[in-house]
Structure 1
Amino acid sequence: MAIFNTYLNFNGNAEEAFIFYKSVIGGEFGVLMRYQDIPGGDKVAEDVKDKIMHISLPLGNGNILMATDAVASMGHKLLTGNNFYISIYPESKEEAEKMYYGLSAGGKIDQPLEDAFWGAYFGMFTDKFGIQWMVNYEYPKN
C-alpha cells in the first residue's frame, strides 16, 4: 500500500518554518535542496537561488513532512487552500498510475505523470474536489 504524506507550500520562508519544526519535533532533514541546485539552477533569479526547492523532515514510521517555497516569479500563486498537497509514495509504477489517473479523473492535471530529474516517476494534479495531490514513485536504486 502507498504511503501518504503532507507537502507544504511556503511564501519564501520554508527554511525558517522547517528549522522551527525540527526544533520542536527533532530529527534531521532528509533532503534540503535549493533552487540553485536543480538542473538549470544557474539561470534562476538571484532572489530565488537560495529559496527551498524541496525540504523533508522524516517523522518516523514512513511519515515525512515536506515543503517548498512557492515562488511567484516561477508561476506559483500561493493562497490559503493551495498551500499543501497530499503526497503519495506508491510501491510500484503501476500503483502510481492507478492513483494518479484514478484520483485525477474529473480534476485538473498540473504536471503530467512522467520521469523527473530526481529519479522518480512524478506527477501533480488537483482533484475534482479541489484537493491537490502529488504522486512520486521512487525507482529502486541499483
Structure 2
Amino acid sequence: MIVMPYLFFNGRCEEAMNFYSQAIGSPIDMLMRIKDSPEPPPPECAPPGSENLVMHASMHIGKDTVLMASDDPSGQAKGFQGFSLSITVDDEAAAGRLYAALSAGGTPVMPLGKTFWSPCFGMLTDKFGVGWMVTVPGEG
C-alpha cells in the first residue's frame, strides 16, 4: 500500500507545482487543464470560467513518492490545516537548501536544528499554506 498526498488549490495549482518543482528539484510529470480533458467534466464540477484551472498535476519526489494536485473550481478549498508533508533528505546541507527553498515567501515554524530523533529537523509553512517538516534521519 502507498499513500500519496493530493493537494487542492484555489487557482494557484500551477504556480505551486512550479514552486515545488524548483524547490525540491523534481520535474512536473504532468499538468492538465480542465479545457484539455479528453472528456468534458460535468458542469457542476467545472463551472464556466474554470477552463484554464488545473484539472490534475503530478510530480515524483524521490523514487516512491508522487505529489498530486489540482485546482478546486468550486472554491471550497480553504487552506491546508491539520497535516504537514514530511520530507527526508540525506544530510544537513540538503536539509538547509530544501528548508530555505520551501520557506521562501512562507513562514518558518521551527528552525532547523538538532533534536533527540534527528541531527537536523525543522518545520515551515510555505507561501501556499502547506506545512512541511524537513528531516535528516537519525542514527538507529
**Taking structure 2 as the reference length, what is the TM-score of the superposition?**
0.49
| Higher helix content, 1 or 2 | 1
